[in-house]
Amino acid sequence: MKPDVLQLKALSPQLEAGLEAAYAVHRPYRAADPDALIAQVAETVRAVVTGGDLGMPAALWARLPALEIVAVHGVGLDKVDLDVAAARGVTVTTTPGVLTQDVAELAIGLWLSLSRRMVSVDRYVREGRWPKAERLALARRATGRTVGILGLGQIGRAIADMAAPFAGQIAYHSRRPVEGVPYAYQASPLELAKAVNVLFLVTPGDAGPLVDADVLAALGPDGLLVNVARGSVVDEAALVAALSDGTIAGAGLDVFEDEPNVPEALLTMDNVVLQPHRGSATEEARAAMAALVLENLERHFSG
Ligand code: 8YV
């Protein structure tokens, strides 16, 4: 008998095919009545497969008495209650390592496209404004800017290393200083924001809003914010206000407080570049993530 698996969100075709080959897969998000489907299979579900963005909805724990493993397709654990998992003896797995460069690339891309205004200028070309010689504001040079990394984990480190060849000084703040890195440690998010022109957010999402109105004010009117972590890392209302009144110059955002809902005000701003949570969305990362989710499940079920 194939073990029952509850898949909570749409995943790549290769992962879904791999799951089907080895497990009896139940997909409430595709069912007309998701709740009824969960009720039907709840007693025997041994594994949940979910994304880092969605995690494990709190109410689901109590409904799955036979649950043994939560396999996360991603690295974020902010939406999986690890205390409950530990108390229940449920294994939680993620897909570390295989998406690091991809998320870092997107972060660097957001920075460069913000500095060089590539997205708003793309609109200028598409809208036929070039032949009209309509005046276009100049961009800013990215080279030489001081860069701050909030959260120097694996991905934060990759962003710093990618930025290093052309950034000016690089500083970071993490819960504690990281040994053996060539980057300057700042004691708080506020101190970091004061010291840099570009602030990358790469912390886990369960640390609360580390970036508030004060941090944004410290980043300043030339400052750029890039968030590839979680919407919860920044006070989104304060960010929208800071972008509209010029407290900071711009923001590149891959994540939001209430995905897939993006604050209406951001949609009309030229000083933001918006992505629908795409950090790990490359063929290479997603293929490796799929393989790792399957391997994590396989290792669990084979003991
Ligand atoms: C994915 C993520 O978008 O790794 C994470 O925590 O948020 C992303 O990689 C997500 O997990 C896709 O299912």
Q: Is the pLDDT assigned to residue 207 strictly greater than 90? A: no
* Ligand 1 first shell, C-beta below 6 A: 51-53, 73-76, 99, 277, 279-280
Residues 135 and 270 in one domain: yes
Q: Is the pLDDT assigned to residue 208 strictly greater than 90? A: no
Domain range for 292 is 4-95+283-301
Residues 293 and 270 in one domain: no
Residues assigned a catalytic role: 230, 259, 277
- Cβ pair 88, 60 in contact under 8 A: no
Residues 240 and 293 in one domain: no
The pLDDT tens digits of the residues spanning 99-135 come to: 999 999 999 999 999 999 999 999 999 999 999 999 9
Ligand 1 centroid to Cα of residue 162, in Å, is 21
Q: What is the structure's pLDDT at 185?
A: 98
What value does the mean pLDDT of the chain take?
97
Atom 5 of ligand 1, residue of closest alpha carbon: 74
Ligand 1 centroid to Cα of residue 76, in Å, is 7
Quickly tell me which residue has 């404004």 as its tokens: 129
Q: Is the pLDDT assigned to residue 295 strictly greater than 90? A: yes
The pLDDT tens digits of the residues spanning 60-110 come to: 999 999 999 999 999 999 999 999 999 999 999 999 999 999 999 999 999
Length of the chain: 303
Residues 181 and 46 in one domain: no
**Does the predicted model carry a pTM greater than 0.85?**
yes
Q: Is the pLDDT assigned to residue 167 strictly greater than 90? A: yes
Residues 134 and 198 in one domain: yes
The CATH number given to whatever domain includes residue 148 is 3.40.50.720
Cα 66 from Cα 46, distance rounded (Å): 5
Q: Work out the average pLDDT over 5-22.
A: 98
Per the structure, the count of domains in the chain is 2
Q: Work out the average pLDDT over 281-293.
A: 98
Residues 34 and 147 in one domain: no
Residues 182 and 244 in one domain: yes
Residues 118 and 86 in one domain: no
The phi and psi torsions of 274 (rounded to 5 degrees) equal: -115, 140
Residues 175 and 84 in one domain: no
Residues 259 and 291 in one domain: no
- Cβ pair 184, 209 in contact under 8 A: no
Residues 28 and 126 in one domain: no
CA distances from 237 to 139, 189, 204, 255, 256 (A): 26, 18, 20, 14, 11
